[in-house]
Amino acid sequence: MAVKLNKPALEHARSLVRQGKVVKDERDAWSEDAPSASDENAYVDKRGWTDYSHWHLGIDPDASDKTKGRYSFPFGDFTKVHRCAVISLESRAAQFDHDEIAKAAKDLLELIDKE
């Protein structure tokens, strides 16, 4: 899997943070705050795959278009960026040597904490 940084998603996340659309929750809250599979399906049905992709810092260009498997490292609930999601994805990205994604997440976390 050749996951790369999804630059449009990173810009979307930064924009949301600058607009104050952030949940400054604790590290372990993401397991409860993350959208369910049915929430994701409803979002895709309503907004499409491009909008769905803007909520994930990872993209696998080798994966099939219009599949959830193409996108990884979610950072929010389709309305706001969650601090806990950014912490979680930074850790997972570093664990699996996705250095560019881990750095982007770290920078995003700094922006969240600064705002």
pLDDT for 115: 72
Is residue 87 pLDDT above 80, yes or no?
yes
- What Cα–Cα distance (Å) separates residue 74 from each residue in 79, 80, 89? 12, 11, 7
Would the pTM count as exceeding 0.75? yes
Contact 10, 104 (CB under 8 A): yes
Residue 50: predicted pLDDT: 95
Q: Count, in order, helices (H) and strands (E) of the chain.
A: 6, 5
- Assign 2 a pLDDT band (cuts: 50, 70, 90): confident
Examine the pLDDT at 1 and tell me if it is beyond 80.
Answer: no
